[in-house]
Chains A and B, each alone.
Chain A
Amino acid sequence: MRQTNTDSPRDHLMSDPKMLFSRRQMGGLFTGLAGASLLPTSAFAQSKYLDIRRGSNFQPVPIAVTNFAGDQGPALSGIITNNFARSVFLQPLEPRSFPEQISNPDAPPRADAWRMINAQFVVTGRVARAPDGRMQTQFRLWDVSTGQQVSGQQYVTDPNNARRVAHIVSDAIFSRITGEKGFFDSRVVFIDESGPKERRAKRLAIMDQDGANVRYLSGGEDLVVTPRFSPSSQDVAYMSFGKGDPRVFILNIETGQREVVGNFPGMTFSPRFSPDGQKIIMSLSQGSSSNLFTMDLRSRATTRLTDTAGIDTSPSYSPDGAQVVFESDRGGTQQIYVMGAGGGGAKRISYSDGARYSTPVWSPKGDFIAFTRQKGGSFGVGVMKPDGSGERIITEGYHNEGPTWAPNGLYVMFFRDPGGGGGPKIFMADVFGRGEFPVPTQSFGSDPAWGPLLS
């Protein structure tokens, strides 16, 4: 895959093994459109059109995603529209309200007509088959208020990657309007659950962030839980039961290669990668206590970070790797603590009356820590600042657990269990709690872990 005509060329798309193109394969095969043809030309283009940092009191940006030209065009537009519908910040307009059919995606839409339905942006595009059989996708983003194009790119790829192209286009548009990183071109590892609750079978699985392209990574023979994505590779760390003590494993999702993490004298659980992908931080249970350890994946050296008689678990690094947030019952009940990445000097940050806090996860932007909160018999998911202030509960109910951050830090996924004989399902919500959407999975789903942006 390759794109041209961007204001910020991103050749590293090819570093994703899923795309299966080497740079050499690309060479000479692709010529592309003339550079200028998709370039924004407006002198009035703003750097962004919605300031997310101002908080929850925003108006979603109305955007019209027209059918892209070409046989595959409408399907692509459908994926993009569905993405925006779950983005909360963008509001895709109903196609039936569109004032015109786009016959030429390269020409400016009739701004006055689109203004009538209050569209702020119009997306046009086309999907064509290149002579070599590959898929060529172009999009243009038009600002209705000025009638000018403010973004436009072309991507060439194998036709099997059509969904990914739709996600990449979605990200480009989302970023252009909000000034934030996108999140649509990303995947989620999770646990697929089936069978009665007393003998539930759990399989490691991976899907696109919108629930498409599910692939199973384990067969359900061994009980597996809490997968976590490496931020820098195709590796997933998780806890697996088998013979002997349950342990933390790392699985390469491309090669299927699996290895146990360290040789610890007891159950290891609750793994998470360091931001550079070089270390695993996890809990080790010994006797009646659980403490935090790291293992360097290259040197295999292990380091003890905490030494308590209590339960320390669910560690998560700050994005700069300098600090660790975790939960501990050292003060009597589960609460959230922050300490330096080398251990020591843990400081409690959660203080709500009568509440227990667990599963803290540091946002990739660094601005928030997401958590599970138990209070008054209900389980909620919320966020707080790293100093413990600014707590905001995003969802609350019988049982919500285990938030994971979108790569841009603007959304969380978590699972919700109705209890009884039913099973959990995965949901996504924005960080302000303005919108919540189910992430469709075939069976029950739990323990989602959002991976990095692929492009």
Chain B
Amino acid sequence: MTFMISARSLKLVAVLAAGLAMGACSKNPNEDGSNSGFGSGLGAGAATPGSQQDFVVNVGDRIFFESDSTELTSTAQATLDKQARWLQQYGQYSITVEGHADERGTREYNFALGARRAEAAKSYLAARGIPASRLRTISYGKERPVAVCNDISCWSQNRRAVTVLGGANS
């Protein structure tokens, strides 16, 4: 079964996450290495094509998973297709796929689960023509939730793989 998230709510989530990352970035852009790499001047529509904001707001930087699943839903595949097209167009970025799990699992298993999710997204992007040399993965397990509450409305946002753009490829 596919958990449907509308494009509109996806965009909201993305903007929210970007805002959080901005807060984290105010001191040091790479403070914890997670969700970093956003520039300033956020705002849907105002993003310069090819910029990181453009990717986050207009493409969507994240996909979501079912509970304890690493399967790519049709929504996730559609997002990854868009990501792959954008990433091929803007080849200057290196790419880190972050895998995350919700809090309803044990810590160590969730590291492995997050790694699997990141790997699933990475393989999909690679199959869509993104060179493996541009792609790396990292798992944060349940250590870096974006939504905090005690029910599925938050857990479903935290079960995610986030495509984070890094500096220019060397």
Task: Tell me, yes or no, whether A359 is within 8 Å of chain B by CB.
Answer: yes
Report A174 CB to chain B, min CB distance, Å. Answer: 32
Question: Does B10 touch A at the CB level, under 8 Å?
Answer: no
B139 to nearest A CB, angstroms? 6
Say whether A327 faces chain B, with CB atoms less than 8 Å apart. Answer: yes
Instruction: Find out whether the CB atom of A288 lies under 8 angstroms from the CB atom of B115.
Output: yes
Q: How far is the CA of A226 from the CA of B111 in the complex (A)?
A: 12
- Which of A199, A243, A270, A398 is B108 in contact with, Cβ under 8 Å? A270
B33 within 8 A of A: yes
Q: Which residue of A lies closest to B117 (CB)?
A: A288
Contact of B138 among A198, A245, A372 (CB under 8 A): A245
A401–B141 Cα distance when bound, in Å, is: 15
Question: Closest residue to A311 on the B side, CB-wise?
Answer: B112
Contact B108 A314 (CB under 8 A): yes
Q: Bound state CA distance, A379 and B20, in angstroms?
A: 30
- In the complex, the chain A residue whose C-beta lies closest to that of B113 is A311
Count residues on chain A whose CB falls below 8 Å from chain B CBs. Answer: 44
A226 to B149, CA, bound (A): 24
Q: Are A372 and B106 in contact (CB under 8 A)?
A: yes
Q: Give Cα distance in the complex from A202 to B107, angstroms.
A: 14
B146 touches A313 (CB 8 A): no
Chain A CB within 10 Å — which of B70, B107, B146 has the most? B107
Residues of A close to B148: CB separation below 8 A: 196-198, 420-421
Q: Which of A196, A399, A447 contacts B103 (CB 8 A)?
A: A399
Whether a CB of chain B sits under 8 angstroms from the CB of A3 is no
Q: Indicate which residue in A199, A327, A420 contacts B109 across the interface (CB closer than 8 Å).
A: A327
Closest to B155 in A: A419
Q: Do A290 and B115 have beta carbons less than 8 Å apart?
A: yes
Query: Which of B106, B119, B143, B150 is close to A223, meaning CB atoms less than 8 Å apart?
Result: B143
Q: B11: CB under 8 A from chain A?
A: no
Instruction: Collect the chain A residues with CB atoms within 8 Å of residue B145's CB.
Output: 197-198
B120 at the A interface (CB under 8 A): yes
Q: Binary interface profile of A, 318-354, with partner B (CB < 8 Å = 1, else 0)?
A: 0000000001010001100000000000000000000
B107 contact set on A, CB distance < 8 A: 225-226, 401-402, 447
Cα of A256 to Cα of B47 in the assembled complex, Å: 47
Shortest beta-carbon distance from B57 to chain A in Å: 20
Query: In B24-67, which residues have CB < 8 Å from any A CB?
Result: 24, 32-33
Chain B nearest CB from A270 CB (Å) reads 4
Cβ proximity bits A265-292 to B, threshold 8 Å, 1 near / 0 not: 0010110000000000001010111100
A399 to B103, CA, bound (A): 9
What 0/1 readout, one digit per residue, does chain B (100-127) give for beta carbons within 8 Å of chain A? 0001111111011101100110000000
CA distance A206 to B107 in the complex (A): 20
The answer to whether B138 touches A199, judged by C-beta atoms less than 8 angstroms apart, is: no
A401 to B111, CA, bound (A): 15
Known A198-B144, A198-B146, A199-B32: A311·B116 in contact at CB below 8 Å: yes
Kindly provide the distance from the CB of A146 to the nearest chain B CB, expressed in whole angstroms: 50
A444 within 8 A of B: no
Q: List chain B residues, Cβ under 8 A from A327.
A: 109
**Chain A residues positioned under 8 Å from B143 (CB to CB):** 200, 202, 223, 225
The yes or no answer to A246 lying at the interface (CB within 8 A) is yes
CA distance A197 to B104 in the complex (A): 14
Q: Chain A residues with Cβ under 8 A from B112's Cβ?
A: 269, 283, 285, 290, 311, 313
- The reply to whether A311 and B106 contact each other, CB–CB distance below 8 Å, is no
**Contact pick for B33, options A200, A241, A402, CB 8 Å:** A241
CA distance A283 to B20 in the complex (A): 32
Q: Which residues of B contact A226 (CB under 8 A)?
A: 107-108
- Asked whether A358 is an interface residue with its Cβ less than 8 Å from the other chain, the reply is yes
Beta-carbon nearest neighbor of A266 in chain B: B115
Q: Is the CB of B109 within 8 A of A334?
A: yes
| Min distance, Cβ B125 to any Cβ of chain A, angstroms | 14
Q: Is the CB of A401 within 8 A of B103?
A: no
Question: Which residues of chain A from 32 to 91 have a CB within 8 Å of any chain B CB?
Answer: none
Across chains A and B, which 5 residue pairs bring their CB atoms closest together, nearest first?
A: A311-B112, A290-B112, A419-B150, A358-B106, A270-B108
Query: Told that A246-B138, A359-B106 touch, could you supply 14 new A-B pairs with CB distance under 8 A?
Result: A196-B148, A198-B145, A198-B146, A225-B143, A269-B111, A288-B120, A290-B115, A311-B113, A327-B109, A329-B109, A334-B109, A374-B105, A401-B107, A420-B149
Name 28 interchain pairs, CB-CB below 8 A, sorted by A: A197-B148, A198-B146, A199-B144, A200-B143, A223-B143, A226-B108, A241-B33, A241-B140, A267-B138, A283-B108, A285-B139, A290-B115, A311-B109, A311-B113, A313-B108, A313-B111, A314-B106, A327-B109, A329-B109, A334-B106, A334-B109, A358-B108, A359-B106, A374-B104, A374-B105, A401-B107, A402-B107, A447-B107
Q: Which residues of B contact A (CB under 8 A)?
A: 20, 24, 32-33, 68, 70, 103-109, 111-113, 115-116, 119-120, 138-140, 143-146, 148-150
